[in-house]
Structure 1
Amino acid sequence: MIETENLHLRRPLECDLDAIHAMRSDLDIMRHLGGRALTREEAWHRLTRLVGHWTLRGYGMFVIVEKGSGAVVGEVGLFDGCRGLSPAFDRAPEAGWILAAQAHGKGYASEAAAAAHRWFAQTHGEQRSVCIIAPDNLASLRVAQKLGYKSFGQVDYQGGPVTMLERIPD
């Protein structure tokens, strides 16, 4: 488990299904991530994918738990997306973050993502990482900028444009 000022980051558990489903069935949240709400079955598949990634790679997406409330408020981490976007993208660990509506505007995405990147560097070594963000997702672009990500191209992914960003350690 990783502890920050306001959050705990931990591996996903079966008991996280309801929170993941609630977050990923919120159309406001999902508008930048495929544009549609996930069914409970799809949320279950998402959860099993999260757990499986840790087993295969030894890293993955953490569940974000708000210290004050104990509520699961998001996901953050680095993973291998195998998206097939380009060799320059697919050969690096991919960073991602998603927060439930009640966690927006509190700085949690930046806090959690910075902690996940520190953990990854400590356990897997400093290395280049990438992420993709829809051009109109200004909040996520701000988080990426705070983490040191810079644009290196744009591609079409799942029917819409995304900006490819990379973070190269000093």
Structure 2
Amino acid sequence: MERPMTFSAVPPVSSPPVLDTPRLILEGHPLGDFDALATMWAEPGVVAHIFNGTPSTPRDSWMRMLAYRGLWPLLGYGYWAIREKASGRYVGDLGFADFHRNIDPPIRGVPEAGWALATWAQGNGYATEALAAALAWLDAQQRFERSVCLIAPTNVASIRVAEKAGYGEPRRIRFNDADSLMFSRKRR
């Protein structure tokens, strides 16, 4: 069982590593991505299975972007901005966090994978491609025995992405007064 990390156990990471896939680039969120990020998080098709389907306000998106940047120096891992390599267009967000969720079983100290893609980018295999790169990076760090992800049971597309990436053993849990599935993946 993983123990919660202490701050002194975290290797210093001032910014996210850049990950390159055949079609995508994963990098830190530059300030210039804010408008695209805020637009994406306000799309009903993006939040349909999270936040009770409530689109994010620009302030919510600003706080999210600040959190994304803050995860890296605090935890040594975090979220990337996903960008199409050919066009440079912002695709969405993907990465790992420890949100200190009050759930059973507890997952504090375990990287929790998450992803959100703009509606125009959904259905192209981008989430699968980006998650594979992020998990390869996380596995190479040799710091964690496993990672988890929480997905709404109605989010069939994200369940498929998680399963393709090797997440399994779904466990039904309650989170924010809603049913959720917690998937787990062992380090490879």
Q: TM over 0.5, yes or no?
A: yes
Q: Which runs of 5+ in 2 are unaligned?
A: 1-17
* Deviation of 1:121 (Å): 1.5
SS at match of 1:12: coil
Matched residue, 2:107: 89
* Deviation of 1:55 (Å): 1.8
CA RMSD of aligned residues (A): 1.4
CA distance in 2, matches of 1:127, 1:92: 9
Tell me whether 1:3 sits opposite 2:20 in the alignment.
Answer: yes
Matched residue, 1:24: 41
What amino acid maps onto 1:8 in structure 2? I
* Deviation of 1:123 (Å): 2.7
* Deviation of 1:86 (Å): 2.7
Structure 1: which 4+ aligned runs deviate by more than 3 Å?
none
CA distance in 1, matches of 2:101, 2:186: 20
- In the alignment, is the contact (CA less than 8 A) between 2:171 and 2:181 conserved in 1? yes
- In the alignment, is the contact (CA less than 8 A) between 2:79 and 2:93 conserved in 1? yes
What does 1:104-115 correspond to in 2, within 5 Å?
A: 104-115=122-133
SS at match of 1:89: coil
* Deviation of 1:38 (Å): 0.7
* Aligned residue pairs, count: 170
Matched residue, 2:4: none
Matched residue, 2:54: 36
CA distance in 2, matches of 1:159, 1:20: 27
What amino acid maps onto 1:132 in structure 2? L
TM-score between the two structures when normalised by the length of structure 1: 0.94
1:64-99 CA distances to partner (integer Å, 9 max, x unpaired)?
001121111111111112112134433411111111
